[in-house]
Each structure stands twice: as C-alpha cells, then as structure tokens.
C-alpha cells in the first residue's frame, strides 16, 4: 500500500537532484518541468575559448556549421564526458584567424594565408545558461559546466 507513494517520492527527489546537481534541465532530470524552473536548451550557449594576442575570445558552436550537432548535444546535456569529447574534436581541427575580418574560422577550404591558431590556444569549453535576474533586472550568463584544456 505504501509502495506507490514511496516510489513517487523517490522519483521526485531523484529528479530534483538531477536538475540541481547534474546540470540537467528539468525535462532531462525527468521532472517533465513539474518541479523545476524554466530551463530549456534554447536558453543555453555552448562554445570554447581561444587565447590570441593577449585576449580571450569565445567561439559559439552554434555559429560553426561543422559543430551544430555538438552544440545541441552539449546544450541538452552538458556532462563532463561530452565536453571532453567535443574539446578533443575542437583541438584536433585546424583553426585560423583572419586579421582583416577580425574573426576565427575552421579551415575547410585549405586556405593558408591567415594566421594558424595552435591547439594550445584553445583553453577550454563551456556551457552557459542565459538567466534573467529579477533583483537587478539584467540578463546574465550562468556557467553550467566547463572543462579546461589542461592535459589535452
């Protein structure tokens, strides 16, 4: 007789823990948005940092066609193993900096006239959530998870 309520309580607690501690939105936590705040992957940003000329640049995966699927997967479930896999993929690509345009790009056309970026310049990969702070009335980025390039 108590089995059903205890089972429901177990899943409720599990879903809250997944949503709060494992960087899952309330849907992926299993709560079907009943117990969590509004957080869907459309409000998330995934990308990586590049160090160049004493500055840090953030590259949004959603703007790189070759990484669109990775962007979606990271935004839905930003687990460490996914971040590490994509970081490995990013570091093993050939990236260039176009000084005229002031932009980085993935070399898919074997263009070699621009400045090549060494893989050591890629310092980490991260996933943010866009939050609106009611107290300050401002939009801010909240870091959900990140992996640094140490050891890669």
6-36 pLDDT, tens digit per residue, is 988 888 887 777 766 765 655 554 545 554 4
Provide the 10 A C-beta neighbour count for residue 29. Answer: 22
Spacing of C-alpha 40 from chain mean position: 13
The total number of residues written for the chain in this structure: 152
Residue 39 pLDDT: 56
- pLDDT, averaged across the chain: 81
Q: Using CA atoms, how far apart are residues 31 and 106, in angstroms rounded to an integer?
A: 38
Structure tokens of 77? 């479930």
DSSP label at 105?
A: E
Nearest to 53 by CA among 150, 146, 118: 118
């Amino acid at each position: 007789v108590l089995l059903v309520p205890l089972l429901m309580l177990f899943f409720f607690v599990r879903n809250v823990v997944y949503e709060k501690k494992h960087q899952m939105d309330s849907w992926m936590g299993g709560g079907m948005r009943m117990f969590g705040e509004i957080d869907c992957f459309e409000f998330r940003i995934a990308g990586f940092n590049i160090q160049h000329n004493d500055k840090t640049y953030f590259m949004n995966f959603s703007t790189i066609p070759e990484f669109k699927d990775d962007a979606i997967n990271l935004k839905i479930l930003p687990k460490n193993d996914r971040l590490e896999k994509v970081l490995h993929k990013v570091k093993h690509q050939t990236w260039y900096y176009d000084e005229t345009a002031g932009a980085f790009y993935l070399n898919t056309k074997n263009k070699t006239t621009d400045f090549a970026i060494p893989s050591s310049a890629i310092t980490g990969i991260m996933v943010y959530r866009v939050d609106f702070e009611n107290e300050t009335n401002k939009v801010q980025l909240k870091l959900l998870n990140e992996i640094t390039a140490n050891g890669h």
